[in-house]
Structure 1
Amino acid sequence: MSEPAIPSSSSESVPVLDPTALDGTVLRACPDVQGTTMDGETVLLDLRTGRYYTLNRLGSVIWEHCTGTQTIREVHAVLCDRFDVAPERALDDLLALANELIKEGLLEQERR
């Protein structure tokens, strides 16, 4: 992502993903976030703050599947199918990016 993370004092109260609840958690873009994908990269604009973020190819695939319909486990399966990566690494990358996007206010999580 191109923008620095929010200072830790601001993000301490933001819930992070529970790795034990992957089958019961879905992610969706916050309503004030616009995203556009070109050439495998996604640019996000937070309309509340005016800040832009850039996601690489892996981040773009993750973002594409954060529609509120697929569980984190299902998004993980997509990553494992689409990329030549160890499942553990794919899960670590997925959780790291999702947690960062949640802290930045770009994604919301919902437990089902």
Structure 2
Amino acid sequence: MSVILPPDVSTVDTEDGMVLLNQRTGRYWQLNANGAQTLRRLLDGCTIEEIASGIAARHQIAPDQVHNDITRVIAQLQKAHLLEASR
């Protein structure tokens, strides 16, 4: 799944990760360091599977669980209009 930030969404790196802000709606979302790294990699074109595999290996977690977590966060960000599937 390829994703993009909508034009009215900006990001700011923080000490603990990243904040996304929809400037039109005022909705925002804070991501921890893992979430920020995951979003950056998604925006760079990496697949969920590639990201999940790397995180699972580093943290000794089942890749399926990481994949599900990433998919869930993507869905939440899309619902909040902070992320879109690219076409």
TM-score bin, normalised by smaller chain: 0.7 to 0.9
| 2:3 matches 1:27 | yes
Structure 1 pair 84/42, CA: closer, same or farther in 2 (3 Å)? Answer: farther
What is the aligned partner in structure 2 of residue 47 from structure 1?
23
Per the normalisation by structure 2, the TM-score is: 0.80
Amino acid at match of 2:6: C
Distance 2:37 2:26 in 1: 23
Shift of 1:57: 2.3
Distance 1:28 1:76 in 2: 19
What is the aligned partner in structure 2 of residue 57 from structure 1?
33
Shift of 1:53: 1.5
Shift of 1:40: 3.1
Structure 1 pair 51/69, CA: closer, same or farther in 2 (3 Å)? Answer: same
Distance 1:81 1:37 in 2: 25
Structure 1 pair 61/95, CA: closer, same or farther in 2 (3 Å)? Answer: same
Distance 1:110 1:35 in 2: 18
Higher relative helix content: 2
How large is the RMSD of aligned CA atoms in angstroms? 2.0
Amino acid at match of 2:37: V
Structure 1 pair 31/49, CA: closer, same or farther in 2 (3 Å)? Answer: same
Higher relative strand content: 1
Structure 1 pair 109/88, CA: closer, same or farther in 2 (3 Å)? Answer: same
Per the normalisation by structure 1, the TM-score is: 0.65
User: Larger C-alpha radius of gyration, 1 or 2?
Assistant: 1
Amino acid at match of 1:35: T
5 Å-filtered alignment, 1:32-111, equals: 32-67=8-43, 69-110=45-86
